[in-house]
Structure 1
Amino acid sequence: MSEDAHRFRDKTHILTGDPQILASDKHTPQYSTMSASSPKQPVTLYNVFVVACATLASILLGYASGVIGGTLGQASWYRVMGLQMVPGKPGYSHTETIQGASNGTFYAFATIGTILIGEIMGLLGRIRAFQIASALHIVGAAIQTGSVNQAMFLVGRGITGLAAGSTIVIGPVYFSEVAPPSSRGSMAGMHGAGINTGYMLAAWVGFGSSYANPTTTFGFRFPLAIPILIALIILGATLWMPESPRHLVDKGRSSEALAILTSLHGHGNHEFAQRELREIELQVAEEKAAFKEKSAFMILFTQMTYLKRVALGILVCSGVINTGVLVINNYAVIIYSSLGLSTTVSLLLSAVWLTLAAFWNWLGAFLSDRVGRRRILLIGNIGTTAMLIIFTGLYAKFQETGDRKYATACLVFNFAFELFFGAGVDPHVYTVAAEIFPVHLRAKGESIALAGYYIYSIIWTEAAPPAFSSIGWKFYLVFICIQFLQITLIYLYLPETANVPLEEIDEVFGGQVKVHLNDADLIMDPTSEEVEVKEAKAAIKE
C-alpha cells in the first residue's frame, strides 16, 4: 500500500471514528513538532476582550500577593498589631516571627489552593473557578482590612492565600485554552504581566498611603481593601467570558465549543474553528480511551512522559521563586532600609522597581512567541543570576564598609536584575506549565507545578527575616547556587513549545498525535468531506 493510501486510510477511519485505528499508532504519519502545519490565525477583538477580562484576575493576584510589602512598612500596622517596629529593641524577634507568618500563612494556604482548584476546574469549568477564587479574595481582603489583632490578620492572609493559589492556576490554563496557537505565548504571558501590574499597583498604593495621618489606621487598611473592588469587577466580567472550549469538549459539549471557537478565532467563518474543534475532539478522545480507568494524579506520576512534564513544570515554576525575586520584593522596604534609606524613599523605590517590572513583563509576553520559551527562559535565568552575583558582592561590601557608593551600586544592579527577570523569566513559566500537559491533565498538572512555586515561597519568605538578621548578604548565595543548577536543567531537558498547537504538544515529548491542524483542514471542509472519504476508500483498494 502506498504512503498516500496509508494516509487516506487513516483519515477515513478518523472520520468514521473507527476505534481500531484510533487505538493504533502503526499508520500515524510523523510531522515536525515545530508546526509548519499550524496556520497563523489573526487575533480577533473578542479574543483580546476575553484575555483582558482574565488579566484582571492576574492583576488581583499580584496585588493581593504584593500588598504585604507596603503593609510591613506602615507604622500604623505595627501599632494595631502590638508589634515592635525597631530592630534590636525588645520584642523585635516576635515581630520577625509575625512578619514571616504573614507571608508563610499566605503561601501555605496558596499551596492548598493550587491543588484544590485543579479538581474544581475539572469538574465545574474555568469560569466557575474564576468566580470561586474572586469570592475568596473578597472574604480574605475584608478580614485583613478589619483586623484588630495578629490572629485575625493571619486568618485573612490565609483565606487570601487560598484565593491567590486558585487564581495562579486558573489564569494560565484559561489563557492557553482560549488563545490561537500563533499567539498563545503572548496571550498566556498576560498572566505574568498582569501579576506584576498588580504588584506595581500595590506598591504605589502603599507609597501613597504612607502619607496618611499616622494617628489613623487608613495607611494600612485602605490598601488591604482594594482587592474587594477588583474581585467584584471580575465577578461581573465572568458573565461575558466564555468557558474554555477544551473543557467543553472534555465534557461532551462540542457544539458549544464550536460556537466559542468561532467567536474567538473564526473571524466570522467556521473554517479555522472547525479545524481546531476536530483536532481537540480527536486528541481528547484518544487520551480518554488510553486512560479512562486511571485517575489524573495516577497518570501524572506513573507514566514516564507525564512524570517528566510534572518535573519540568515544577522546575520552571519554582524557578521563579528560586531567583530570589520574592524575597527581594516582599522585603524590599526592609532591604532598602538596610542600605540606609528612609521608609518613604524605600517605599518609593519599591514602587518604581515594580513599575519597571510590569513594563518588562509586558515586553516579555510580546517576545514569547517570537523568541521561543526555552531560549528566553535561558537568557532570563542567566541574566538574573549574573545580576544577583554582582548585587550580592556589592551588598557585602556595603555591610562591611558602610560606604554609600556601594549602596547606590546595589540599587542599580537590583533594577538590572528585574530587567532580566521581568522580560526573560516571569511571563513564560506560567505558559510553559500550562501548555506541556494534555487537556484532561492540564488543570491538575499545572496545580502540582504551581504547588512547587508556593512551597518554595513558604521556605524563602519564612527564612528571610531571621536570615537577614543572622547572615545578611550570605543569604543570597543560596539563590545563586540554585540558579546554576536550574539553568543547567532547563538547557538539558526543556523542549521548545512555542507555536505548537496544544493538541500537538505530545509530539514534542515523543508521543503520538492522531491529527494535525492542517490535516483537520481537509477533514472538516464541509464541501469536500464526502469526496475525501470516497478518495480514501479508493486509495485503500489500490
Structure 2
Amino acid sequence: MATRQEKNDIDLAKDEVVESEFGGQAAYYVPKTKMRNVWYVLMVGTGQIAGGGANAVIATTLAQPTFVSKMSLDGPNSNSLMGGTNGSFYAGGFFGVFFAAWACDTFGRRKAMWLTGVLNIISCILCASSVNIGMFIAVRFIAGFAACQYVMQTPLYQSEIAPPHLRGLLVGTFGIFNVLGYNIANWSGVGFYHVKDSNIAWRMIFVMVGGLAIINMILVYFCPESPRWLVMKNRQAEAEQVIRLIHGDSGDDTFVKLETIQIERQVATERELNVSYIQMFADKRWRRRTLLCCLIGTVGQSTGVLVINNYGPYFYSILGMSTLQQLYLAGGYVLLSLTVATIGAFGIDKLGRIKIMVCGIAGQVVILCIETAIVAQYAGTANRSANIAGIWAFFMYCAVYGLTWDCTPYVYVSEIMPSHLRAKGVTLSIGCLYLSVCALITGALYAFGDIGWKYFLVFICAGPVGALLIWLYGPETKGKTLEEIGGIFGDELAIPELHATDESHITQKRAA
C-alpha cells in the first residue's frame, strides 16, 4: 500500500514532469488536454457521419414504397436483388479500404480524406440518379468503395493525434459519429416517406448523405496533418509544430519535446522495415498483431449486427409491423445506438478494451438466443405481446452492441500496430469486416426465407468462439502511447516510457 507521501508523488507525476532522462531512459508525463486537440478529433470524425449515412441509407430506402415500385422489387426476384444492393456495397468497401491505406501513406491523412469526400459526392449523385435496379446495384459498389474509406481513415488519424490518457474516448467518437450518420439516414427516410412523388422521395436521402461529405471536406481543411506521417516523410520540423499545436502548453513544452523525440526515434527504428501484407503474416514480429486486427474485424460482425440493422424493416414486418411503423422502429433503433455508443465511449479508458469487447459479445449472444426463440415460435402470428417482445429483444441487442462494440474495436486496431504498419493493420481489420459482412448479408434474406430463424444460429455459434480468441490473445492497451504499445508485443522501444501508468514504478524511480 502506498504511503501518503508516495500518493502525493504520484499525483505530482500526473501534472508535470517528474523525470526526464534522454538517451533511452524513462520520462514520465501526462499532458494537459487542449480543446484544440479535441476539436481536431471531432472535426475529422465528421467524415464517419457521411460514411455511416451512406452505409445506413439502404435500410430505409428498401422500405420506401416509391423505391420498391421504381426498382420493381415486388417480384419473385426481390430477395436476391435486395441482397445485391447490400452485397455490392460491402464488396466495394473491401477494395476501398485498401485504396484508402495506400492514399493515406502516399498523400497524407488530410489529402486522402479529401479524395474520399470527392468520391462520396460522386457516388451519392450516381445513386440518386439511378434509373433501374441494375444501375443502382452497380453504383452501390462505387458507393461502398468511397464511403468505407472513412472507416479506415478516421480512426487512423484520430489515434495519431489523440493524447494517450484520452485516446480511448477521443477515438471512440468515431463510433458515435458512425451511428449519428445512421440516425440522419434513417430519420431522413421517415421524413421522405411522406413525400409521394416517386421521382424525389428516396433520391433526396442520397443527396443529404452527399452533403455530409461536403461538410467533412470543409472541416478537414482546417485540421493539421498527422505528426507521425510527417515524421515518416522526414518532415520533423512540421511534425514538432503540429505536436506543439495540439499538445503544447504555453508555459511548458516538455511533452512536445518528449513526444517528438519518441516518435522520431521509433519511426527511425522502423524506417528500414518495408513490410508487405504477406510479410505481416509471415514475420513473427507482426503476425500476432496482424491476426488480431483480422480477428477483431471479423468477430465484430459475427453476431450479425449489420444484418439486423440493414434488414431491420424486414424483421419488423414479420413481427407484424406496418411500413410506417417499420421506418419509425428503424429510426428508434439507431437513435438508441447513438445514445449507448456515446455512453460506451467514456468507459473505454476506464475499463479497458478487451474486457469491453468480450463482455459485449457474451451479452449479444444471450439476447440473440432470446430473439431466436421468439421468432421461431411467434413470427408471422397474431400474438402481439410476443411480437413486441421480439422487437424489445432487437433493441436490447442494439444497446449491448452500442455500449461495447460501436467504438471499442476501432480504438484497439488503430493502436496496436507500429507507425509504419498502422494504415495496413487498420486496412486488414476493416477489410475482414467487410468480407464477413458481404458473406453474411448478401444471402441473408434468402436464408431467412429458406431456413427462417435457424439463420440466427450462425451468429449464436460464431460469437463465443471469437470472444474466446480475443480474450486469450488480445493484450490490454489502455493508458499507453502508441509507441509504448509496441513493447507489449516485444518491440524494442527507442524511449522506454513517456507516459506514467504504473504507480509502483514511479515510486521506485523516486526512491532511487
Query: What is the TM-score with the length of structure 1 in the denominator?
Result: 0.86
Letter in 1 for 2:165: S
The alignment partner of 2:407 has SS state of helix
**Equivalent residue for 2:213?**
231
**Equivalent residue for 1:369?**
349
| 1:291-323 Cα shifts (integer Å, max 9, x gaps) | 2xx333244122113111111111112222112
Match of 1:487 among 441, 456, 467: 467
Letter in 2 for 1:489: L
| 1:406-450 Cα shifts (integer Å, max 9, x gaps) | 211111111111111001112011111110100000001111111
Distance 1:229 1:519, change over 3 A: closer
| 1:168-215 Cα shifts (integer Å, max 9, x gaps) | 1001100100100001001111111111111111111111111111x4
Letter in 1 for 2:136: F
- Would you say 1:187 and 2:180 are equivalent positions? no
Q: For 1:352 and 1:40, locate their aligned partners in 2 and report how far apart those are by CA, in whole Å.
A: 40
Q: For 1:424 and 1:163, locate their aligned partners in 2 and report how far apart those are by CA, in whole Å.
A: 27
The alignment partner of 2:29 has SS state of coil
Match of 2:97 among 91, 102, 114: 114
| 1:3-48 Cα shifts (integer Å, max 9, x gaps) | xxxxxxxx77x4xxxxxxxxxxxxx78x8xxxxx653323211112
**Equivalent residue for 2:65?**
75
Contact persistence 2:123–2:139 (CA under 8 A): yes
Letter in 2 for 1:66: A
Letter in 2 for 1:377: M
Q: For 2:128 and 2:431, locate their aligned partners in 1 and report how far apart those are by CA, in whole Å.
A: 27
**Equivalent residue for 1:64?**
54
Distance 1:426 1:519, change over 3 A: closer
Distance 1:450 1:204, change over 3 A: same
Superposition deviation, residue 329 in structure 1: 0.4
**Equivalent residue for 2:199?**
217
The alignment partner of 1:498 has SS state of coil
Q: For 2:175 and 2:299, locate their aligned partners in 1 and report how far apart those are by CA, in whole Å.
A: 14
1:493-532 matched pairs, under 5 angstroms:
493-518=473-498
Superposition deviation, residue 326 in structure 1: 0.4
**Equivalent residue for 2:30?**
40
Unaligned runs of 5+ in 2: 1-20, 501-512
Q: For 1:412 and 1:274, locate their aligned partners in 2 and report how far apart those are by CA, in whole Å.
A: 53
- Would you say 1:444 and 2:433 are equivalent positions? no
Superposition deviation, residue 371 in structure 1: 0.9
Moved over 6 A (4+): none
Q: For 1:449 and 1:385, locate their aligned partners in 2 and report how far apart those are by CA, in whole Å.
A: 22
The alignment partner of 1:426 has SS state of coil
Match of 1:254 among 236, 260, 264: 236
Superposition deviation, residue 519 in structure 1: 9.0
Q: For 2:494 and 2:428, locate their aligned partners in 1 and report how far apart those are by CA, in whole Å.
A: 27
Q: For 2:465 and 2:497, locate their aligned partners in 1 and report how far apart those are by CA, in whole Å.
A: 37
Q: For 1:508 and 1:38, locate their aligned partners in 2 and report how far apart those are by CA, in whole Å.
A: 18
**Equivalent residue for 1:537?**
none
- Would you say 1:95 and 2:95 are equivalent positions? no
Q: For 1:299 and 1:257, locate their aligned partners in 2 and report how far apart those are by CA, in whole Å.
A: 29
1:160-179 matched pairs, under 5 angstroms:
160-179=143-162
**Equivalent residue for 1:526?**
none
Q: For 2:97 and 2:189, locate their aligned partners in 1 and report how far apart those are by CA, in whole Å.
A: 27
Letter in 2 for 1:208: G
Contact persistence 2:259–2:498 (CA under 8 A): no
- Would you say 1:311 and 2:311 are equivalent positions? no
Unaligned runs of 5+ in 1: 1-10, 15-27, 32-36, 85-90, 521-542
Contact persistence 1:296–1:441 (CA under 8 A): no
1:354-393 matched pairs, under 5 angstroms:
354-393=334-373
Distance 1:297 1:387, change over 3 A: same
The alignment partner of 1:242 has SS state of coil
Q: For 1:58 and 1:361, locate their aligned partners in 2 and report how far apart those are by CA, in whole Å.
A: 14
Between 1:303-312 and 1:329-338, the stretch displaced more is 303-312
Letter in 1 for 2:248: G
Match of 1:324 among 284, 304, 310: 304
Match of 1:344 among 324, 346, 361: 324
Q: For 2:253 and 2:124, locate their aligned partners in 1 and report how far apart those are by CA, in whole Å.
A: 44
Contact persistence 2:56–2:181 (CA under 8 A): yes
**Equivalent residue for 2:15?**
none
Contact persistence 2:320–2:380 (CA under 8 A): no
- Would you say 1:434 and 2:414 are equivalent positions? yes
Q: For 2:440 and 2:176, locate their aligned partners in 1 and report how far apart those are by CA, in whole Å.
A: 23
Contact persistence 1:275–1:517 (CA under 8 A): no
| 1:360-382 Cα shifts (integer Å, max 9, x gaps) | 11111111111110111122111
Letter in 2 for 1:191: F
Superposition deviation, residue 332 in structure 1: 0.4
Which entry has the higher C-alpha Rg, 1 or 2? 1
Q: For 1:423 and 1:462, locate their aligned partners in 2 and report how far apart those are by CA, in whole Å.
A: 27
